[in-house]
Amino acid sequence: MAYKPGSVAVVGAAETSRIGVVPDMSQIMLHADAALNAMADAGLQPKDIDGLACVGQMMPQQIAHYLGITPRWVDGTGVGGCSFMLHVRHAAAAIAAGYATTVLITHGESGKSRVNATPRPPEPESLAGQFEAPFGPAGPATLFPIPVLRYMKATGTTHEHLAMVAVVQREWAAQNPRALFRERVTVEEVLASRMVAYPYRLLQCCPVTDGGGALILTAAERATDFPAPPVYLLGSGESVETTMVSQMEDFTSSRAFRVAGPTALKMAGVSHADVSHLMIYDAFAHLPLYGLEDLGFCGRGEAKDFIWEGNTRPGGKLPMNTNGGGLSYTHTGMYGMFALQESVRQVRGTAPAQVPDVKISVAHGVGGMFSSSGTVVFGKERP
Amino acid sequence: MESLHPFSLPLSELAEIPFTGSKPKPTPETMHFWEGCKNGKLLLQRCPDTGRAYFPPRPFSPFTGNRSVSVFEASGRATLHSYVIHHREVPGFTPPYAIAVVELEEGPRMMANIVECPQTPEALQLDMPLEVVFRPVDDSISLPLFRPLKEGA
């Protein structure tokens, strides 16, 4: 059974107490720290939670037991860094179906300190192990940017355009005390930073950090009974394509984006002009360009100029990645939770770099290079 | 004289260097592909309904689900579709080295390294013509790599 736009709301939202480098917390404790903060935000205790979503195999069991939750609905969808967008979508459907009343979604990742972190062994029998790994990729910094040169050639995007993405996001991060990197940078400084994997230099790649976040969702009918103003879920979308970046259908556009984004906007019944705030998961500098175009905020090849001309920077007409983004705020490995948290803060009116009068916020996520996508549309008012 | 990058060397010299990177482990569905590489053939599969070639190997068409697929030898010609040049140390690779995706003449794309070629943006031009070569890494595995197509080839 589908949920109706506005029938489910976020009533609790929080990140871990500390973020960035947190070597004194294991990965499961980062989940719990965020969950406890979100429950405090909503005035709830573990006994009040009857639905639980977290990323990956066996994780719902571990988190339920650790937090003392007895769920009657669980979701372990793990499709990479946008899994939380899918959890929100699935949780809303579960609430509408009566499978749960109060769903907790948690994320914790010791990406930097690697305390009890999930290992990622390459499987030489997997398709990626056979047809990508032998050619020397070493993690996301070598795989995620592989389509970039093709995108640049197809759209006339330059190295300077891609540097500007990092520059603008640092302007937002400068206003956020919790951001990992807060010093403003110039296009020249980005292009002078250390080469990581051509065409990308260090400042065009996200850091790897420790942290977590949690959300609590319930039916809109109950949502006004909680301490914080409700943030209504207006629409959502999801899709997957391939875990092998070499096998993407089109190197200049993500098929998963083109399914998830428009599905969410259509469900919400909002036009692009209605969107007052946008989060596009930016593990690397090209992702906001793909997101702006694949979600229809910009025409083909126009995202580079849209950003260059200042539309997404503070004071621009479409403020984007206002926490500083994965590039400057934090990136634990699965940043989608932090994009959702910033959307909730912006709609609540509690963000460090608050955009005036946010009525509609879109949080768009990517996972496992371009392998998956999830989009969530939040609103201040119940339609 | 500065020593040449391994990927700039002639294939015969590159093949002398022991491969210490990540070796593929074939499955029943991909064994024919790796057997082909060992024998110097780049094998693709074709959908019987659409006639389209596809990759990576699987015993059914990803376009229609039809299991009656055929295996055929690709021309080995390709163009450079996109790449990164990685600048950090990775076991088995000398930085900086390109991790590329090539587009085969038959349509499918595959990841590969570009050999017999400097690993620089100037030498690696998108859409440049390439041809497949095979680097033996042990008794059962040869990796399909690509080199710039020689004039008149």
Which of A145, A196, A246 is the closest to B111 by Cβ? A246
Residue B153: predicted pLDDT? 55
- With contacts defined as CB-CB under 8 Å, which chain A residues touch B143? 134-135
Residue A331: predicted pLDDT? 96
Tell me the average pLDDT across A175-181: 97
Contact B22 A130 (CB under 8 A): no
Residue A120: predicted pLDDT? 67
Residue A238: predicted pLDDT? 98
Q: Is B14 on the interface with A (CB under 8 A)?
A: no
The alpha-carbon gap from A292 to the nearest alpha carbon of chain B, in Å, equals 22
> What are the Cα distances from residue B122, in Å, to A265, B80, B83, B119, B128?
42, 13, 13, 8, 12
With CA atoms as reference, report the closest residue to A206 among A31, A362, A335. A335
Number of domains in chain B: 1
What confidence tens digit (pLDDT) does each residue in A10-58 have? 999 999 999 999 999 999 999 999 999 999 999 999 999 999 999 987 8
Q: Is the pLDDT of residue B127 over 70?
A: yes
Q: Is A202 on the interface with B (CB under 8 A)?
A: no
Number of other residues whose CB lies within 10 A of the CB of residue A121 = 6
Residue A210: predicted pLDDT? 96
Tell me the average pLDDT across A207-218: 97
What confidence tens digit (pLDDT) does each residue in A257-304 have? 999 999 999 999 999 999 999 999 999 999 999 999 999 999 999 999
A96: amino acid identity, one letter: A
The alpha-carbon gap from B10 to the nearest alpha carbon of chain A, in Å, equals 18
Q: Is residue B124 in a domain? A: yes
Contact A244 B56 (CB under 8 A): yes
| Upstream peptide bond of A46 is cis (omega within 30 degrees of 0) | no
* Average pLDDT score, chain B: 95
> What are the Cα distances from residue A279, in Å, to A130, A295, B122?
35, 12, 35
The alpha-carbon gap from A48 to the nearest alpha carbon of chain B, in Å, equals 46
Range of the domain at B124: 26-147
- With contacts defined as CB-CB under 8 Å, which chain A residues touch B25? 124-125, 129-130
> What are the Cα distances from residue A178, in Å, to A15, A92, A213, A324?
11, 30, 14, 10
What confidence tens digit (pLDDT) does each residue in A340-364 have? 999 999 999 999 999 999 999 999 9
- With contacts defined as CB-CB under 8 Å, which chain B residues touch A129? 22, 24-25
Q: Is residue B55 in a domain? A: yes
Tell me the average pLDDT across B6-33: 95
Q: Is residue B123 in a domain? A: yes
Q: Which residue of B has its CA nearest to A153?
A: B126
Percent of chain B's residues with pLDDT above 90: 93
Q: Is residue B94 in a domain? A: yes
Provide the chain A residues 240-269 that lie in CB contact (below 8 A) with chain B. 244-247, 251
Structural contact between residues A104 and A42, judged by C-beta atoms closer than 8 angstroms = no
Residue A119: predicted pLDDT? 65
* Average pLDDT score, chain A: 96
**Sorting pLDDT into bands at 50, 70 and 90, what band is A121?**
low
Q: Is the pLDDT of residue A118 over 90?
A: no
A26: amino acid identity, one letter: S
Distance CA B87, CA A315 (A): 37
What confidence tens digit (pLDDT) does each residue in A61-102 have? 999 999 999 999 999 999 999 999 999 999 999 999 999 999
Q: Is B31 on the interface with A (CB under 8 A)?
A: no
- With contacts defined as CB-CB under 8 Å, which chain A residues touch B22? 122, 124, 129, 133-134
The alpha-carbon gap from A146 to the nearest alpha carbon of chain B, in Å, equals 5
Which of B84, B112, B126 is the closest to A198 by Cβ? B84
Domains of chain A: 8-116+207-379 (3.40.47.10)
| Upstream peptide bond of A199 is cis (omega within 30 degrees of 0) | yes
**Sorting pLDDT into bands at 50, 70 and 90, what band is B105?**
very high
Count of CB pairs separated by less than 8 Å, A with B: 111
Distance CA B70, CA A64 (A): 49
